[in-house]
Amino acid sequence: MGEKVVLGTNVWVSILLNKTLAKTFVPLIEAKEIEPCMSYALLREAAKVLTYPRIDTLLREAKVRPEAALASIIRAVKLVNPRKSVRVVKEDPADDRVLECALAAKAKFIISGDHHLLALKEYRGIRILKPREFLECTLDLRSNDS
């Protein structure tokens, strides 16, 4: 099994809408090079975000129903149940749910576009990277393995 990662909701939406990001992340998930983990709290957030009018419109333009998008996320992730709360991101306490999920999953990476999380850079040994930074890091690790 690959590296455990937590993808922010914004990354999931980008994967669902952005063919370039999907072309890089979906094969990593399918080949089990990464194991995306999600908590029930993050799943509820994703379900809510997928129904935002702007996101719903973009999904429908891409011929993806929000329900199908959510189902594809559920199929791709390992659900975890965080047992400990953290209070780290004072500017946006909802971002703490991502940290809690990563801790519960024993994830090595959080992949996000959220500036509050990215500002941390790392939390308890979990690296916090933008999607492109993570992909560059993954490519570097692969080339070092050869």
Cβ atoms < 10 Å from Cβ of 79: 14
Given a contact cutoff of 8 angstroms between Cβ atoms, the answer to whether 90 and 72 are in contact is no
At the top level of CATH, which class does the domain 3-145 belong to? alpha beta
| Residue 130 reports pLDDT greater than 50 | yes
**pLDDT value, residue 146:** 46
Tokens at 124, concatenated: 């308890």
pTM of the complete model beyond 0.85: yes
The residue ranges of every structural domain in the chain are 3-145
| Residue 110 reports pLDDT greater than 50 | yes
| Residue 139 reports pLDDT greater than 80 | no
Q: Over range 130-134, report the average pLDDT.
A: 94
